[in-house]
Structure 1
Amino acid sequence: MKNLSTRLKAATAVTMVAGLSLSLAACGGGAAAEGDGSLRFSWWGSDPRHAVNEAIIEDYVAANEGVTIEGEFSDFSGYWDRLATTTAGRDAPDVITMDEKYLQEYAGRGALADLSELPNLDLSKFDEATLDLGRFEDGLYGLSTGRNALTVVVNADLFEEAGMEIPDDTSWTWDDYYQISKELSENLDGVSGSDYGNSPDGSLRVWLRQQGESLYNDTNDGVGYTAEGAESWFEHLLKVRDEAGGTSPSEWTEAQAGTFEGQSFPTNKTAMSWYWSNQLGVLRTASGSDIQMLRAPSATGNEADNGMYYKASMYWSVSSQSENQEAAADFVNYLANNEEPAKKMLVDRGVPVNPDMAAAVRPELGEADQAVVDFLEEIESSVATSPAPSPVGAGGVQDVILRYDSEVLFGNLTPAEAAEQMTAEIESLIQS
């Protein structure tokens, strides 16, 4: 287990990065059709997302004479390795798909353009609360693609096979969660009841919010939790492992370093897990099973205490290094305010926060995507205020949390030791 960090880094280093180049010309044009609109557009994700982005690029280029767009994509971990390298070499893509974990990191280092200063980007359909999630200091450096929430996902087919009912997620407690997970493991051959979450920082955020704490403090210059809060998180992981029929630590950590489709939940080896709501469709496709979303359990059984929040699924950002910021902003405007790309993206990047785009995509949604929209609407009354974007320096915090989760699960550290060391490491990242 002591070599887990090395293995994770090695897995990241060999990530395959694919590229596409679309350079089509056609009659007609838009604001960017000035003959100098050569752009690069980067994103991460699954094969279906790649295909959708290719189609969006093709449509845009066909309608804007003189514009060329080269796409760059990879899986999530490889994406940030590549972006860090290209940004350091002053060769960053013009239009960057950005994540909450890294938004302030890149904005704080001057790598992103202030979107509010780009005149051909229409922000009028986005409310202030949405725009605030993309701000750093006095600038706007990311425009939300949509919203989602971290949910408990359950494999309804495995529940049926186990002869068990799906719980009432408006009132279930952590004790219910542990007992259900234990019974699933006992009733299913070769299937774990649950695992330790697919988003280490997201799961920890929800847990801490239930304790009245937060991952980062209000001034974004340190952690916002107590030692007891962090210890209770690690104790929870041990309870899943020891009492609730949880996935083996080795299977879970290896899956975290592999592909999305190869993780234990998408391969029907785990009956409950934690994923973002916009991943419902790909989970159903990968597993071939009836996957459903549930609210997080809480200590009290009151859904208002479950710590859930809306997160900007991802952001559109423009590189400060771009020599074609006007053309880049026009493309972002197309992505954010045009029905045609919205109908292709649907809710893969979260439910659109532009209300016109949300209305446009709704009739186009399949059953899984409609379930996402309905779920996010159902939890709205109990969702707490969204946290601010992660502070500068926090881009590596997810890996830090994953590493300490693993150290505890493998018995290398006690919850108290892990809480102390993790906190020191997170604060060092931020303060450096």
Structure 2
Amino acid sequence: MRRSISTLAATALISAACLTGCGSGSSAGSGGANLTMWLWNPPEKAEQQKCVDGFEAKNPGTKVKIEQYGWGDYWNNLTTHMAAGDAPDVITMSSVYFPQYQQQHQLLDLSKTAATKKIGLGDFVGGLGRSWTDPEGKGTYALPKEWSTQGLFYNKDLAKKAGIGDSDMQKLAWNTEDGGTFEKTVAHLTVDRNGVRGDEPGFDKKHVKVYGLGLLDSGGALGQVEWSPYVLSNGWDYSDKNPWGTKFNYSDPAFKSTIEWWRSMITKGYSPTLAQALSAVSTQQPYAAGKYAIVSEGSFNTQIYQSFKGVKTGIAPSPIGPSGKRGTQLNSNAYSAWAGTKNPEKAAKLIAYLESPACQDVIAKAGTVYPALKSSSDLAVKQQKAKGVDVTPFSNYLTDGTAHLAPVADHWSQVVAIMQPVMDSIIGFKSGVSALDSANDKINALYK
């Protein structure tokens, strides 16, 4: 769901013969099958195994083996195995890679298999189902497994010490002129080595002890947890349509003015430099050490931020923007079946089970991620509340209409390759936001 993506190797292209004649599954006797399923997220494996156990109990003779890899190895291995004709039957799919695999005919059309064709795309939260169709909307090549949005994790003790209450954090707003109450709050939470706050006379921005707002990186083409909540609340969207947009808007004045304001937080000393941020690997370590008071993060890291010893973490929604609304990127991963599987109906049957309440409720109770099925999503929010964690700042976007589907487009890896160095340069103050004009031209040229 997250991080920069390199271009898929040319070996990902599979011959038509392999697509129809190769597969990783093998027969397990009459009515059975041996299926392989791949994951990349370690915390999810336990609940996914519970789901697989449930599926096997209902389908005697069918065995499912879960294999797990790190993010980078996952996609490299998938490319290699597809080319060799022994890819996994069921694939955990990312929206970032989905367009390339779908366009290369490497994914099974789930709208044509008996077990999955009856699943309604409207059963999933926030319109997530339509992110996994083909450009014509005629086939469905994946089904969403969970959802994520963005919000603010904040150190409650640091906020209290600064005189900022939990209710204050819930109603922050920003603008491109003076940053609004959001920037004022970030400034007040910023403290230099002498104990002077960012909004007080004598503040030393060159020697900051606690940054009001943490930074992960420049955000590249996606800006999922970096700048997307701000640009999406400023009346901007990635492209002319989604999914399968063909005209991108990175040169739009709303985008440029938002990025200009966002990086001004670095200039003022309220947020670390890009070099400082990258040296920390993630926002989690500095936050846990008390060096970041607020971080913009994804709902998928809720458990991590709640687990830091000695840190009381609150959750707030992203600030209201110039549009008068909040904004968040609604992202998901999904279940796909490889087009070359020897057991397409069994693979589809496994996916159908994984998308049913029998499995999605298991995921909801585990609390690692938030299941995409509407009923199970509601259960997950209730489960978190029962544990004393209010995650409604993440889920409210789904009902108030402020969640924007993450972009799904052909040539996405090339879009990333163009935008990453440009955004690095801008946030690193090596170039101005005018650099976005030529970058956007290069991106839109991909679709002509």
TM-score band w.r.t. shorter chain: 0.7 to 0.9
Task: Name 2:393's counterpart in structure 1.
Answer: 375
Task: Name 1:15's counterpart in structure 2.
Answer: none
Partners of 1:352 and 1:182 lie apart in 2 by 37
Paired residue type of 2:368: D
- Asked if the contact 2:370/2:377 (under 8 Å) is kept, the reply is no
Q: Report the TM-score when normalising by structure 1.
A: 0.77
- Asked if the contact 1:43/1:96 (under 8 Å) is kept, the reply is yes
Match of 1:116 among 111, 120, 123: 111
**Larger mean Cα displacement after TM superposition, 164-173 or 142-151:** 164-173
Match of 2:437 among 403, 420, 431: 420
Partners of 1:229 and 1:300 lie apart in 2 by 10
Task: Name 1:16's counterpart in structure 2.
Answer: none
Q: How does 1:325-340 map to 2 (within 5 A)?
A: 325-340=344-359
- Asked if the contact 2:288/2:308 (under 8 Å) is kept, the reply is yes
Paired residue type of 1:422: A
After the TM superposition, which parts of structure 1 deviate over 6 Å for at least 4 consecutive aligned residues? none
For residues 221-244 of structure 1, give each alpha carbon's deviation from its aligned partner in whole angstroms, at most 9, with x where no partner exists: 130343433432431342121115
Paired residue type of 2:278: T
**Larger mean Cα displacement after TM superposition, 289-298 or 33-42:** 33-42
Shift of residue 140, structure 1, vs aligned partner: 0.7
Paired residue type of 1:172: A
- Asked if the contact 1:97/1:317 (under 8 Å) is kept, the reply is yes
Cα 1:348–1:53 shift into 2, 3 Å: same
Q: Report the TM-score when normalising by structure 2.
A: 0.75
- Asked if the contact 1:280/1:369 (under 8 Å) is kept, the reply is no
- Asked if the contact 1:343/1:364 (under 8 Å) is kept, the reply is no
Shift of residue 337, structure 1, vs aligned partner: 0.5
**SS of residue matched to 1:111:** coil
**Larger mean Cα displacement after TM superposition, 128-137 or 379-388:** 379-388
Shift of residue 246, structure 1, vs aligned partner: 0.6
Task: Name 1:169's counterpart in structure 2.
Answer: 170
Task: Name 2:335's counterpart in structure 1.
Answer: 316
Match of 2:211 among 174, 189, 192: 192
**SS of residue matched to 1:127:** helix
Task: Name 2:47's counterpart in structure 1.
Answer: 52
What are the ranges of 5 or more consecutive residues in structure 1 without an aligned counterpart? Answer: 1-7, 11-31
What are the ranges of 5 or more consecutive residues in structure 2 without an aligned counterpart? Answer: 7-27, 198-207
1:349 aligns with 2:381: no
Task: Name 1:211's counterpart in structure 2.
Answer: 234
Shift of residue 79, structure 1, vs aligned partner: 3.1
- Asked if the contact 2:151/2:394 (under 8 Å) is kept, the reply is no
For residues 165-203 of structure 1, give each alpha carbon's deviation from its aligned partner in whole angstroms, at most 9, with x where no partner exists: 343433522332222222222158733211335765124
Q: How does 1:32-71 map to 2 (within 5 A)?
A: 34=30, 36-45=32-41, 47-61=42-56, 63-71=58-66
Task: Name 1:23's counterpart in structure 2.
Answer: none
Shift of residue 54, structure 1, vs aligned partner: 3.5
**SS of residue matched to 1:104:** helix
**SS of residue matched to 1:139:** coil
Cα 1:235–1:328 shift into 2, 3 Å: same
Alignment size in residue pairs: 395
- Asked if the contact 2:250/2:256 (under 8 Å) is kept, the reply is no
Shift of residue 63, structure 1, vs aligned partner: 5.0
Partners of 1:252 and 1:71 lie apart in 2 by 35
Cα 1:196–1:365 shift into 2, 3 Å: closer
Partners of 1:262 and 1:130 lie apart in 2 by 28
- Asked if the contact 2:108/2:337 (under 8 Å) is kept, the reply is yes
Match of 2:185 among 173, 176, 180: 180
Cα 1:195–1:381 shift into 2, 3 Å: same
Cα 1:425–1:284 shift into 2, 3 Å: farther
**SS of residue matched to 2:96:** helix
1:223 aligns with 2:239: no
Partners of 2:114 and 2:344 lie apart in 1 by 10
| Percent of residue pairs identical | 17
Paired residue type of 2:317: R
Match of 2:424 among 406, 413, 422: 406
Task: Name 2:142's counterpart in structure 1.
Answer: 142
Structure number having the greater helix percentage: 1
Partners of 2:31 and 2:209 lie apart in 1 by 59
**SS of residue matched to 1:191:** strand
**SS of residue matched to 1:371:** coil
Shift of residue 38, structure 1, vs aligned partner: 1.9
Report the RMSD for the aligned CA atoms in angstroms. 3.5
Shift of residue 391, structure 1, vs aligned partner: 0.4
- Asked if the contact 1:307/1:384 (under 8 Å) is kept, the reply is yes
Q: How does 1:355-366 map to 2 (within 5 A)?
A: 355=375, 357-358=376-377, 364-365=383-384
Shift of residue 143, structure 1, vs aligned partner: 0.9
1:280 aligns with 2:302: yes
For residues 13-40 of structure 1, give each alpha carbon's deviation from its aligned partner in whole angstroms, at most 9, with x where no partner exists: xxxxxxxxxxxxxxxxxxx984652222
Paired residue type of 2:88: P
Shift of residue 416, structure 1, vs aligned partner: 1.3
For residues 342-398 of structure 1, give each alpha carbon's deviation from its aligned partner in whole angstroms, at most 9, with x where no partner exists: 32454433243242x3466566546569622x3345344533363374101114645
- Asked if the contact 1:195/1:240 (under 8 Å) is kept, the reply is no
Paired residue type of 1:289: V
**SS of residue matched to 1:253:** helix
Task: Name 1:431's counterpart in structure 2.
Answer: 447
- Asked if the contact 1:151/1:294 (under 8 Å) is kept, the reply is yes
- Asked if the contact 1:181/1:194 (under 8 Å) is kept, the reply is yes
Shift of residue 301, structure 1, vs aligned partner: 8.2
Task: Name 2:130's counterpart in structure 1.
Answer: 132
Partners of 2:73 and 2:388 lie apart in 1 by 27
Match of 2:287 among 235, 247, 265: 265
**SS of residue matched to 1:133:** helix
Partners of 1:149 and 1:9 lie apart in 2 by 20
Shift of residue 93, structure 1, vs aligned partner: 2.0
**SS of residue matched to 1:386:** strand
Partners of 2:158 and 2:30 lie apart in 1 by 56
Partners of 1:403 and 1:272 lie apart in 2 by 26
Paired residue type of 1:353: L
- Asked if the contact 1:336/1:354 (under 8 Å) is kept, the reply is no
